[in-house]
Structure 1
Amino acid sequence: MITTTQRPLFLIFFAALTAGAGNGISLVAFPWLVLQRNGSAVEASIVAMAGTLPLLVATLIAGAAVDYLGRRRVSMISDALSALSVVAVPVIALIFGADAINVAVLAGLAALGAFFDPAGMTARETMLPEAAQRAGWTLDRSNGVYEAVFNLAYIVGPGIGGLLITTLGGIDTMWVTAGAFALSISAVAVLRLQGAGTPNREHMPQVWAGVVEGLRFVWHSPVLRTLAFVELAATGLYMPMESVLFPKYFTDRNEPAQLGWVLVALSVGGLVGALGYAALSKYANRRTIVLVAVLVLGVSMTVIAFLPPLPVILVLCAVVGLVYGPMAPIYNYVMQTRAPAHLRGRVVGVMGSLAYAAGPLGLIVAGPLADAAGLHVTFLALSLPMLVLGAVAIFLPALRHLDREPESPTAAG
């Protein structure tokens, strides 16, 4: 039973689950609507890219918006605009007919929705310290459960999207997607939490000046700066494996179901890893977890580079998800405890935008290399630097700060 003091924390979890599920359904529904029209994979890719490219800039701005407008308000505005971007699909179809839902319209709406999502995610993450304190939970535990809920949403969402498309059709599925965002708005609307309302803007800089202030804070914090570079490198090397190399490998073999199993293994491993960290965070050494995650990722990617049988790939993917599941909770903890409350949104935004920047950088290299040199060479070209990153991380002194108590007494939560 949820107690009064736990209510804000569980409302944030529910908002993250429903908004994440809405995004998960969109991931399936938008490409499906394109493929349903003419079966063009190129046009489906255009819509998929439209849903990811805005994330880099949007995440950077989102942090400043959270600090300037307030956490609850930004969370609700973000979800409302995301809901509008999906409900526009059936509305346009009703007014102008289904033929009006072309690739340009879908790409524009996907980009619109993606542009608002980071603000909502940033707002919810920045409310966790105060919610954890109200609930009597440690911040590590709260972040672990939050990330597990978020992973669960992205496992369940696409599955629900597939069922909805089968029963309702792609266009009407968007009504349900909008409803998921509405549930998230409702949860945050009744949330009452210190620091979540309208902030004091007396000494608040303008948006771009605020973004620069967030960048400066991250740069001058050794532990945040080091984590940002580790995340940038790890994401840039890992993302192409999931987004390009595995799809190409299984497409070439005409085994789409096997690709689905691989992605499920990664997601379930991440879910279990985040939940495990939530349970064991009191006894866990954060630096050790980070080092093990990066090293295991490098070793697993290197073994996968030799394209072993599917059961081996599935086990390795599950292990990757398991060891990498605690990374996001640890990153959240460091950002939440090192940044002062008035800067928290901008710091989360800066760190998130660096992670989003890494993915496209890796994809620019991996795609052409896979076509020119083959999958085996491309896997090795990504996995060997990951091994080097893991070895270098052992000697990074800033990572030792991960297990030191934060200086701010309010951040310990």
Structure 2
Amino acid sequence: MSTSTVTDTRRHLPLILINLAVLLSATGNGITIVALPWLVLQQTGRATDAAVVAGAATLPLLLSSLFSGTVVDRFGRRPTSLVSDALSAVSVALIPLAAATVGLSVPLIAALAALGAAFDPAGMSAREAMLPAATRAAQWPIDRVNSVYEANFNVAYLVGPGIGGVLIATVGPVNTLWVTAACFLASIAVIAFLKLEGAGVPHRDARPSSMWSGTLEGLKFVWRNRLLRTLALVDMAIVALYMPIESVLLPVYFTDLGQPAQLGWVLMAMSLGGVVGALGYGALAARVRRRTVMLVAVAVLGACMVAFAFLPPLWAMLAIAAVIGLVYGPVGPIANYAMQTRSPEHMRGRVVGVMTSTAYAAGPLGYMLAGPLIDAAGLTATAIALAVPVCVIAAVCVALPALRELDDEVAPLWTSAEGAVDG
């Protein structure tokens, strides 16, 4: 192997390891998205119970993701990623262990789902906060790095639900969760090899003085930045309205049909579309306007949610899911770009954490409303009730002046990594 090849591999290695760790941990979460609702519906058959567990898995995300960024900025990106995945692996493994010993109930499943969800945001924030340093090392354009990173998430949610559906059909939902725990352990092994500038414990003078003050600083920073504030509020509303479709309505529909694998196929189609959308954006970023991509994504999502409401045949559901993934695939890279170009190095974790927490803020309310509404009014009425507000949001976004800032030329604030030691 030539010297230039070795050098090229070394500078790309941090980016490869971060993306591999993301792929592994997100695959585990993708399996859980299918396994937990199926486990509950298998036991009780009630959509409300599935919504309770989905809400329990989402509610801790608001608080933990809010503080996760401060944890990252205080204790370091690489250490936080390692500890977060370790705790997530343990919490997921407790579900099959409880099934084999004390037995499972809806409250216990909800409690363990909440425990597992509480540890995920810190690891996600830590890995995302390492992207700018990996970008510098690889010497790639930032839009290209973000598109690959977000495509990884979609690959994980392409593979994860498919694996989950197959495993549920063969070994059952309880034993399926052992695979999730193994995915987190594999992510730990990958990050253990990562050496990257700024990934270790920050210097004392660069750390937040406390968890509370650091989190408040992150909140104030995001709120005072018009673009970040607007993106956070729009994302919060979209997540609250859409996630019940994916996590409650579709599992109920396919449970009634007795087709766990088909649920996995629909989620896989969505993730496949997301992979194409994210990677396509990376290739076309220099020739398309970010604001236009955002507006199209929200509008098409609303239309697709209306189409879901009529519970079309499987082939149509697969096509609708793929379109949702395709148009929404670029949204993650665009949001990452906004955070990376508007946040200073020493606050990167907190900005990512705050922006992530807003995505979960209204999630539990959406789940709690969707479950009882499905039981009372049916799947179609519930889907329409969730889709109409998304269409309204799409119209409002056209008039939001802050979104025009997505296309402003802004010098990145991550051109140096002062204040942190190597990982």
Verify: 1:159 aligned to 2:162, yes or no.
Answer: yes
Question: How does the TM-score come out when normalised to structure 1?
Answer: 0.87
1:388 aligned partner, one-letter code: V
Higher alpha-carbon deviation: 358-367 or 122-131: 358-367
Which of 240, 243, 263 aligns to 2:267? It is 263
In the TM superposition, residue 376 of structure 1 has moved relative to its aligned partner by 4.0
CA contact (8 A) 2:24 2:187 kept: yes
1:195 aligned partner, one-letter code: G
Which of 183, 207, 212 aligns to 1:208? It is 212
- Counterparts of 1:295-306 in structure 2, within 5 Å, are 295-306=299-310
CA contact (8 A) 1:59 1:353 kept: yes
In the TM superposition, residue 243 of structure 1 has moved relative to its aligned partner by 2.9
Q: Tell me how large the CA RMSD over aligned residues is.
A: 3.0
Question: What CA distance in whole angstroms lies between the structure 2 residues aligned with 1:178 and 1:261?
Answer: 22
The runs of 5 or more residues in structure 2 that have no matched partner are 418-423
Report the equivalent of 1:314. Answer: 318
Counterparts in 2 of 1:156 and 1:250: CA distance versus 1, 3 Å: closer
Verify: 1:192 aligned to 2:195, yes or no.
Answer: yes
Report the equivalent of 1:80. Answer: 86
Question: What CA distance in whole angstroms lies between the structure 2 residues aligned with 1:191 and 1:384?
Answer: 45
Question: What CA distance in whole angstroms lies between the structure 2 residues aligned with 1:39 and 1:371?
Answer: 13
Higher alpha-carbon deviation: 181-190 or 362-371: 362-371
In the TM superposition, residue 378 of structure 1 has moved relative to its aligned partner by 3.4
Equivalent pairs: percent with the same residue? 57
Counterparts in 2 of 1:84 and 1:407: CA distance versus 1, 3 Å: same
Question: What CA distance in whole angstroms lies between the structure 2 residues aligned with 1:402 and 1:272?
Answer: 22
Verify: 1:23 aligned to 2:29, yes or no.
Answer: yes
CA contact (8 A) 1:299 1:383 kept: yes
In the TM superposition, residue 105 of structure 1 has moved relative to its aligned partner by 5.0
CA contact (8 A) 1:273 1:323 kept: yes
Question: What CA distance in whole angstroms lies between the structure 2 residues aligned with 1:22 and 1:272?
Answer: 21
CA contact (8 A) 1:304 1:379 kept: yes
Question: What CA distance in whole angstroms lies between the structure 2 residues aligned with 1:252 and 1:33?
Answer: 14
2:229 aligned partner, one-letter code: R
SS of 2:202 mapped into structure 1: coil
1:21 aligned partner, one-letter code: T
Question: What CA distance in whole angstroms lies between the structure 2 residues aligned with 1:376 and 1:287?
Answer: 32
In the TM superposition, residue 258 of structure 1 has moved relative to its aligned partner by 4.8
Report the equivalent of 1:334. Answer: 338
Counterparts in 2 of 1:308 and 1:179: CA distance versus 1, 3 Å: closer
Question: How does the TM-score come out when normalised to structure 2?
Answer: 0.85
Q: Looking at both structures, which has the greater relative contact order when contacts are Cα pairs under 8 Å and sequence separation is at least 6?
A: 2
In the TM superposition, residue 246 of structure 1 has moved relative to its aligned partner by 3.5
Once the two structures are superposed, what CA deviation does each residue of 1:325-384 show, in whole Å capped at 9, x if it has no partner?
111111111112211111111111111111112322333443444444444443333333
In the TM superposition, residue 125 of structure 1 has moved relative to its aligned partner by 0.5
Report the equivalent of 2:102. Answer: 100
Question: What CA distance in whole angstroms lies between the structure 2 residues aligned with 1:136 and 1:386?
Answer: 38
Verify: 1:384 aligned to 2:388, yes or no.
Answer: yes
SS of 1:197 mapped into structure 2: coil
Matched residues, number: 408
CA contact (8 A) 2:89 2:180 kept: yes
CA contact (8 A) 1:304 1:313 kept: yes
The runs of 5 or more residues in structure 1 that have no matched partner are none
- Counterparts of 1:42-53 in structure 2, within 5 Å, are 46-53=52-59
